[in-house]
Every structure is written in structure tokens, then in C-alpha cells.
Structure 1
């Protein structure tokens, strides 16, 4: 059975969701940019940095494992759920305990209430039914569209409504909480089997053994993607962080979303055709060219019309991010193409390749970011992301050749 039609359908549905969700996100950002000041976005950014870091730090790789597993995954659902709950509780406690240190590190007393409130998010997410992974595993992306869209719209509406009432970034946190609650409800309402409290040591050892590389690559990926935010927040303050994060979202999302959409769909497809290397190589080449030809014009549009985009979406007071927007559009293009083999490596169970590549990117970012930020401000942070990405390119090429030419 061929998977080409399934892949195209999957890309269409996932692409439709990403387009819809980012359109809603832009509308939400445009509204909030006229309610909140950049420093408030920066305060919210600090809270989400902490949440994202701890979620990545404790990533078990269970969802990747369930998709990679060729046998029936129903026997793993109970174990996956228990691990998810424990993880959620640990993350929530860690956020609460980290509050004074985060405030001291970023010199941001305004983030205190946001950090305490955002600690509820991972606790709630821990109860999501792991059976939702069957959507991706079985290439049922039309279901994923309606499932994710409902959650995203509810999150956005709640965030905007509460922000309008409070004139505070706390509305953004309540949006996350509302979205998490809705996702837990829907995961039990529409997906089976529904998990129960049962834990099997043999199965969890199997999951952890394969998932350790996912954990490591997730940590490294976080450090690469958020390292620039951390440095900007630490060296330049909340306001600069708000400017930089907003520029990052606008410039990279349209481009990186294409690669993310394709990667999400091709990963389970690569798993299914992993035994046929010729077929796999042909599919990979087509996919990579497709990403290249799609993201190039998008990046050029953002680069050329950066000023117009800022004026239309954000308003006059955000004009200083235009140069950074252009630099980050270049980064988004390079990153999308360089990372295109990641879904291939995951499909073949080569998680360690992704880990090593991302580690090399971090080294490039780490070496360059502080001097560049000190010299050029948030523009320097954008330049450092390009440096980190280009440095990893030789290793990406090496591993890709190894996959197809090793016996």
C-alpha cells in the first residue's frame, strides 16, 4: 500500500490547522499588543520559559515511543498515563519552588503571580489520555485538526477576554489553563482506551530506555530555541525580551510551521516504510525539496516586507524590531531546511542523531550569543541563532548519508 496520498492528505490537514492556529495567534497578538506593553509580554515570556524548560527537562519520550512502536500500543496506555501524571506533578512543584530564583535571575518581581498560576498548567496536562497519539500513529490528521482547533480557539478566546478585563498578562495564563482542561476532557471523551491507574515496570523500562535520547534532544532543543530568550532577558531586560520574542514569533512561525507540519506527517510514514531504504530515500528527497521550495518564498516575503508586517500586525511602537525580524526570517529558512532530516532519523529510531546535532547547534549559539547581544542588542541574538544552525549543517549531512549508505 502506498502512503503518498495519505502523506498529502496529512500535510493538508496539519497545514490547515497550523495556518488556522497561527492566524488566530496573529489576531490574538494584534489585539493584545494594543492592550499590553512589551514589558508585560516579557513577564509572560519569563513564565513560559520556566514552564517550557521544565516540561522539556522531564520529557519521557512516551509519545514518540508509542508512534514508533509497531505492535499494539493499548498495553502501554496505562503506564504512559501514570508517568504523565507523575511528571505533571513534579513540574508543578518545581515551578513553585523555582519562583524566588527566577525572580532573582531575571530581576522580575512582576512575574511572581504568573509563575504561581502557570504551575497549574503541567499538573492539568498530566491527566491527558495518551490514546490521543493514535491520531498521528494512524495518520488520522483530519481528526487532529478538529481536536486541536477546538482547544486553540478556546485558549485564545479566554486569554483575550481576561486580558481585556484585567489589562494584565495573567489572561494569557488563564488561556493556557482553560485549554489544558478542555484537552483533558476531550481526550477522555473521544479517544480509547481510557487509561486506569496501573503501572508495569517492564514496560516503563522499555519506554525509558528508548526515550532517554528524546529527553536529551528535547533539553538541547530547548536550550537552543530558548537560550537566546534567556540571554536577552538576563542582559537586556523584560522590555527587550518582549520585543525579541514577538519578532521571533512573527518571523519564524510561517516558515518553521511548514517544516513542522511536514515533519509531523512524515514521521509516522517513515516508520511504516523504514524497511525499504530505496523507497525511504526517494520519499525523503521529495520531502526536503518540497520544504525548500515552500519556505524560500515565505522567508523572502517576511524579509522584504518586514516593516509593513510590523505596522499592520503590531503598530508603530513596535517598529524597532524590523531589523531583527529580517535576521530571524533568514534563520527560520535555514533552520527549516537543516532540520528536515529529523523526522527521518526519528522514523528509523535514530534519536541520538537528533541529540548530537542539536548539541552542536547549542555550542555555536553559546559561543556567539553573549558577544553579539552585547554589541548589537536583540539583533545580535538573532544573528547567533543563524551561527548555531549553520555550525550543525556538516553533521546533518554526515548522518543523512550514513542512514542511506550504511548496510
Structure 2
């Protein structure tokens, strides 16, 4: 089948990007872990929590909307770009206004300057051309590879150079700013059509109408994925947050990377074959089996050699993350295995399914996280993420069966 070849080709390119980018990320992490302290990573984590929250709270679903469209993208690009610019400035303004409240909430005065600085990231990202989704929509993953690799490498290089010079967590934010500037330049210089300052109310209404469910799903997804970070940062402090976020990063790196690659590659393919339930079902089964074959061995290796990996890669100062890291690997595997079905929900324009599933996970997380945190600390918070992820599985199965009836 053609979708099998397209998936294999796309997975090759995006898998190549993930491998290459994660090698760069590994080098970056190894260097920065020896320059910055866990508490400094925690302060940076607080700033990124604020940015991520406001980004998902104002999510318009433009990229998914453009991928779902069967017709040419040109008629939507101009309006989509203006919406993106307005959203970027809105997020930046909200960050500036909320910064003192955020610092007070986390009792982390050292995070104030980082939160203020990170507002530049959202303002710059708003100017990224929506036409960049064209590569994913038209399965041109080779071009996507080179652009993303250039951005990621530049981001990492700037962060390392600034960290070596200043020894402050602001270096991580300057890396984000540099990467965002380069992304704006590349998407306008290399991708056609170029957006213009033009606005169509009908296009805007379509984007908002389709995107409202993605906004809800994005908010719930943020609360699910970042809720544990918020609890750690608020009640256990920035040092514990630094440890926990590093454990999360290491645990999910080899596992969810596979799921993310499959999700990015298969969404446009699922969308193209969405009218044929037989083809779509066949593609979903194969993607799920392939994901399992890749993530289970990788997760097992990481669980067995956790202490050795942490000591060699990060250094002994990071050994406290070993227990929670083992738990988070199980969470990552669970998420990876249900991800193909979640991608199908988007492909068949059932964003409301994704919103409902994520809401169930949030409720389960809210119920489990506080008692488990009191009993087991960081490990308890990791266990709560597993419970929350498993709680949504029956609903994912139900919706998947409903789609293929």
C-alpha cells in the first residue's frame, strides 16, 4: 500500500531528525548539567511552565486545521499568519503581567527575570510562517528534517555558549530566543507561499470553529503533562523541580520520541485515507504494533541500566533522579502505545474525542497526585502520572471502536 511506503519514508526522515536532534540534545544536556545546578534548571522550568501554559491556553489549532484541509493552503495562509502574530503578542503581554504572580506562587524570586525574558520567545514565534506545515501535509519530510535540524542545533549552540559565559539559567532562554528567530527567517525565506498582511473573516471563523476543541484538548493536555511539574515546583521547590524535569526528560527521550515521530508522520497520511475505514484501521494497527516493537525494548534497557546511565551521562550530582526515572519510563511507554489512536482522532476531525480523553486523565491525576506525593515524594508523583495515563485507556478504546463501526 502507498501509505505504508509513505509512512516508512516519513519515519526514516523524521526518525533521522529525532536521532540527530537527540544526539545534539544529549551533548547539550551533558554540558549544561555540568555547568548549571539542579536549582537553576528548576528556575528555567518555572519559566517554561508559564510559556507552555499560555501557548496551549491560546492554541488555535492552525497547524492541524491546515493539515486537515483537502484543498490548497494558499487561501488560508494570510489569515492564519495574522492570527499567529496576534496570539504571540497576547501571550507575551500575559507573561509580563503575570510574572510577579508566578514568582510568588512558586516562591521562587530567582525566576522573575527568566519569566520576563521568555516573553520574547512567544512574540517572535508568532511571526513563523504557517506555510511551514506544507512540508508535513505534503509528506516532504526531507525538507522538514533540514529546517528543524538547523533550528535545534542553533538553539543548543547558543544556550551552551551563553551558559559557558554567564553560568546562569538565562542561557537556556537565550537558546530558545535564538532558535525562534532562525525559524522565522527560514520559514519565510524557504517556504512558499509567503504569508501577506491580509485577513478574511470567513477563514478566521473556520479556524476558530475547528480549533476550539483543540484549544480545550491543549489546555487539558498541558494540565496533564505539566500538572506534576506544577505540584513539584509549588510544594517541593525549584531544586526538586530541576531533578524531576531532568528525570522526565531522560525517561521519555528514547520512548516518546518514537511515538512523536509516528504521530507527526502518520497524521497527514491518516487524513488522506480517512474516508476508507478499512485502510485507516489497517494503518492504525500496524503503527501501534511498530510503536510497541520499538519502545518496549528501549524502555526495558533504560529501566535496567538507570543508575549507570545517569552517572555516565549527567554525573553523580543527578543520582537522586534514579528512582523516579524508572517510574516515568513506564509512564512514557503507556503514553506511546495509545498515541496512534489519538492521532486517528485528529485525522477524522474528532477533536472532541481527544479533549474528553485528556480530561479523564487530568481528573485521575488530580485525584492521585497529592496522596501519592505525600507518601512517596517524587516517586509518588511519577506513579500518579501512570495511573492518570491508564485511566484514559478504556475511553480511547471505546472511541476507536466507535470510529471504525
Instruction: Give the TM-score normalised by the residue count of structure 2.
Output: 0.99
Alignment of 1:47-196 (within 5 A): 47-196=47-196
8 A contact 2:88–2:125 mirrored in 1: yes
Q: Is residue 323 of structure 1 aligned with residue 323 of structure 2?
A: yes
How far the C-alpha of 1:336 sits from its partner, in A, is 0.7
Map of 2:390 onto structure 1? 390
Alignment root-mean-square deviation, CA: 0.8
The C-alpha deviation readout for 1:150-198, integer Å capped at 9, x for no partner, is 0000000000000110000111100000000000000110011111111
2:389 is paired with a residue whose SS is helix
Residues 254, 298 of structure 2: 8 Å contact kept = yes
Secondary structure in structure 2 of the residue aligned to 1:205: helix
d(CA) in 2 for partners of 1:236, 1:69: 45
User: Which residue number in structure 2 is paired with residue 260 of structure 1?
Assistant: 260
SS at match of 2:321: helix
Partner of 1:357: 357
SS at match of 2:2: coil
CA distance in 1, matches of 2:96, 2:143: 36
Q: Deviations over 1:283-318 (max 9, x none)?
A: 111111111111100110111110011001111111
CA distance in 2, matches of 1:228, 1:383: 10
Deviation at 1:96, TM superposition (A): 0.4
SS in 1 for 2:77: helix
Give the drift of 1:3: 2.0
Aligned to 2:367: 367
Distance 2:252 2:182 in 1: 28
Aligned partners of 2:8 and 2:333: how far apart in 1? Answer: 22
Cα distance in 2 for partners of 1:343, 1:298 equals: 22
Please give the alpha-carbon distance, in whole angstroms, between the structure 2 residues aligned to 1:217 and 1:108.
29
Partner-residue secondary structure (3-state), 1:195: coil
Determine helix, strand or coil for the equivalent of 2:340. Answer: coil
Answering whether residue 321 of structure 2 is matched by residue 307 of structure 1, we say no
Q: Residue 338 of structure 1 contacts residue 389 of structure 1 at CA under 8 Å; is this kept in 2?
A: no
The answer to whether structure 1 residue 226 and structure 2 residue 226 are counterparts is yes
Task: Look up the match of 1:210.
Answer: 210
- Give the alignment's TM-score, normalised by structure 1: 0.99
Is residue 238 of structure 2 the alignment partner of residue 238 of structure 1? yes
Distance between the aligned counterparts of 1:327 and 1:339, measured in 2?
A: 19
Unaligned runs of 5+ in 1: none
Deviations 1:60-83 (A, max 9, x none): 001100000001110100000000
CA distance in 1, matches of 2:219, 2:327: 25
Distance 2:73 2:148 in 1: 22
Please show how residues 25-40 of structure 1 align to structure 2 within 5 Å.
Answer: 25-40=25-40
State the 1:339 CA deviation: 2.5
Query: How far is the alpha carbon of 1:370 from its aligned partner?
Result: 1.1
Alpha-carbon contact 2:323-2:379 (below 8 Å) kept: yes
User: What does the per-residue CA deviation read over 1:86-141, in whole Å, with 9 as the maximum and x for residues that have no partner?
Assistant: 00000000000011100100000001111111000000000011110100000000
Q: Shift in Å at residue 10 of structure 1?
A: 0.2
Task: Tell me how far apart the structure 2 counterparts of residues 116 and 344 of structure 1 sit (CA, whole Å).
Answer: 38
Matched positions, count: 405
Preserved CA contact (<8 Å) 2:61 2:211: yes
